[in-house]
Amino acid sequence: MSLKKKSFSLSGHRTSVALEEEFWAVLEDAAKGGTMASLVGQIDAQRGARPLASALRLHALALVRSQT
């Protein structure tokens, strides 16, 4: 199991997030019609104190659960 790192600008700061490719695939599907940076920014704005990587994984999990 390998992690894939992606970088984004969030609130004017560059940040990198490393997730498993399976999580990125779910998030990329969810970003259709928009950009991955926009989706990550939305999740970042709602995550509270939770680490960004955890918030992204939980968002992807919720998307998969809602489809089954």
Q: What is the pTM of this model?
A: 0.90
| Tens-place pLDDT, residues 1-54 | 689 999 999 888 999 999 999 999 999 999 988 999 999 999 999 999 999 999
| Tens-place pLDDT, residues 44-62 | 999 999 999 999 999 999 9
| Angle of CA points 22, 9, 6, to nearest 5° | 25
Cα-trace Rg, the chain: 11
What residue type is assigned to position 29 of the chain? Answer: D
Residue 68's pLDDT is what? Answer: 79
Separation CA 32–CA 57 (nearest Å)? 18
